[in-house]
Chain A
Amino acid sequence: MSQRFVAIWFRHLTTDALSRQQPELRHVPFVLAAKDHGRLVITAANPKATSEGITTGMVVADARAILPGLHVVDEVPGRESELLHAIAEWCIRYAPITAVDIPDVIFLDCSGCAHLWGGETEYVEHLQSRLNAFGYSVRISMADTIGTAWAIARYGRPPLIVAPGAQFDALLPMPAASLRLDRSIIELVVKLGLRQVKDFIGMPATALRRRFGKAFVQRLAQALGQEEENLQPVQPIEPYQERLPCLEPIVTAIGIEIAVKQLLDQLCLPLKKVEKGLRQACLKCYRVDGKIESVSIGTNRPSNNIPHLFKLFEYKLPTIEPALGIELFVLEAPIVEDIKPLQEKLWEGSCGLESLALSRLIDHLSIKIGAENIHRYLPDEHHWPERSIKNATTLDETASIPWKREQPRPMQLLASPQPIEVTAPIPDYPPMLFRYKGQLHKIKKADGPERIEQEWWLQEGQHRDYYAVEDEEGKRYWLFRLGHYDAAKTYQWFIHGFFA
Chain B
Amino acid sequence: MQASKADIIQQLQQQIFPLQGLKHTPAAAAPKFGLGPIEHAFPNHCFPTGAIHEFICDDLPGTAASGGFIAGLLGVLMKDNGASLWISSSRTLFPPALSSFGLSPDRLIFIDVKNEKHLPWVLEEALKCNGLSAVVGEIKEMSFTASRRLQLAVEQSRVTGFLLRQQPKCLATTACVARWKINSLISEVDQDLPGIGFPRWKVDLLKIRNGKPGSWEVSWIQNQFRFTPVITAIPAILKRKAG
Contacts and interface: CB of A to CB of B under 8 A. Distances in A.
Nearest to A499: B64
B80 A352 contact: yes
Contact of A358 (B83, B97, B121, B185): B83
Interface residues of B, number: 60
Given A403-B99, A411-B64, A500 B111 contact: no
Given A352-B81, A358-B129, A373-B111, A445 B195 contact: yes
A350 interface: yes
Contacts of B197: 445
A408 interface: yes
Contact of B106 (A368, A399, A404, A472): A399
A398 B109 CA distance: 13
Interface string A455-495: 00000000000001110111111000000000000000000
11 contacts: A349-B130, A351-B131, A360-B129, A361-B129, A368-B118, A373-B114, A374-B109, A374-B110, A377-B95, A409-B94, A476-B196
Contact of A500 (B71, B92, B109, B129): B71
A306 interface: no
B189 interface: yes
A218 B56 CA distance: 81
Interface stretch (A16-24, A159-167, A261-269, A412-420): A412-420
B106 A376 contact: yes
B7 interface: no
Most buried by A among B64, B67, B105, B131: B131
Nearest to A497: B94
Contacts of B81: 351-353
A410 B108 contact: no
A412 B93 contact: yes
A205 B114 CA distance: 71
B184 A476 contact: yes
Contact of A365 (B95, B122, B184): B122
A135 interface: no
Contacts of A368: 118, 121-122
A245 interface: no
B114 A446 contact: no
B106 A392 contact: yes
Interface in A364-417: 364-365, 368-370, 373-379, 385, 388-389, 392, 398-399, 403-405, 408-415
A105 interface: no
A500 B68 contact: yes
Interface in B98-130: 98-101, 104-115, 118, 121-122, 125-126, 129-130
Contacts of B71: 411, 500
| 7 pairs of A and B residues whose beta carbons are closest in the complex | A500-B68, A355-B131, A357-B131, A413-B94, A358-B131, A403-B99, A498-B64
Contacts of A446: 194-196
B38 interface: no
A399 B107 CA distance: 10
B131 A411 contact: no
Given A498-B60, A498-B63, A377 B199 contact: no
Interface in B141-194: 183-187, 189, 194
B51 interface: no
Contacts of A498: 60-61, 63-64
B220 interface: yes
A412 B60 contact: yes
B109 A473 contact: no
B184 A376 contact: no
Given A351-B83, A376-B110, A445-B187, A500 B196 contact: no
B94 A357 contact: no
Contact of B109 (A376, A472, A477): A376
B65 interface: yes
Interface string B67-86: 11101000000101111000
B113 A500 contact: no
A405 B100 contact: yes
A398 B113 CA distance: 25
A398 B195 contact: no
A444 interface: yes
A437 to B, nearest CB: 10
Contacts of A398: 106
B96 A403 contact: yes
Nearest to A439: B59
Contacts of A289: none
A7 B113 CA distance: 54
A375 B92 contact: no
B187 A473 contact: no
Interface in A92-133: none
A146 B183 CA distance: 80
Given A377-B105, A411-B67, A445 B92 contact: no
Contacts of B121: 368
A40 interface: no
Contacts of B118: 368-369
Contacts of B100: 405, 408-409
A357 B68 contact: no
Contacts of B129: 357-358, 360-361
Given A351-B131, A411-B94, A377 B110 contact: yes
A379 B96 contact: yes
B106 A361 contact: no
A371 to B, nearest CB: 11
Nearest to A388: B96
Given A475-B61, A498-B64, A352 B82 contact: yes
Interface string A408-442: 11111111000000000000000000000000000
B200 interface: yes
Given A352-B81, A358-B129, A378-B106, A500 B94 contact: no
Given A374-B111, A476-B184, 13 more contacts: A351-B78, A353-B81, A358-B129, A359-B131, A365-B111, A374-B110, A408-B196, A411-B93, A413-B92, A445-B195, A445-B197, A500-B69, A500-B201
Given A365-B122, A388-B96, A412-B92, A375 B83 contact: no
A54 interface: no
Contacts of B68: 411, 499-500
Nearest to A398: B106
Given A369-B122, A447-B195, A500-B64, A352 B83 contact: yes
B196 A447 contact: yes
A408 B196 CA distance: 11
A362 interface: yes
Contacts of A470: 186-187, 196
